[in-house]
Structure 1
Amino acid sequence: MSAVSTDGSARVGSTPPLNPAQIELLKLFERPLTAQQLQDINQLISQYLAEHTNKLGTHIWQEKQLTAKDMDALLTQHIRTPYKK
């Protein structure tokens, strides 16, 4: 069970306070929704996050002036955390 304080923060057990986006989503789900409506909302959120990630990637790509050759080099690199045996 969560509790929302007067400053808008919320706590669930010993977890950190909910952020404003989480609180808004909880408010959205206070009313009954059909399975289709939940699926539609999930699709909208997924689409938003995909678009945001794409824009961020494009920004980084342009900022670093990366090329297709750079991407090919990244794809063939062996970048792993070395583990001790």
Structure 2
Amino acid sequence: MFSGGGSHACFRDCVEGVAMTCTYNFTITASTAMSYLCGDCPNNVSACSNPSCIAAGGIVRPVTVVNNRIPGPGIQVN
């Protein structure tokens, strides 16, 4: 599981004089949306939540994913 958003240590308000170096690890992968990993998705909606399923609108197509997500994780700088 990848942490992001409010669970990431760097998701905070800036404080003058308190520096923070943030490190992010991204894995970029060529994959296929609606692959066999999606099981019976979209006919069985719970199958769309399989950990490695990339539903991406329910169309079989090649996709590039970041950390197995579409869209990839955001980086917010405050």
**TM-score tier after normalising by the smaller chain length:** under 0.3
Higher relative contact order (CA 8 A, sep 6+): 2
Q: Report the structure number with the largest CA radius of gyration.
A: 1
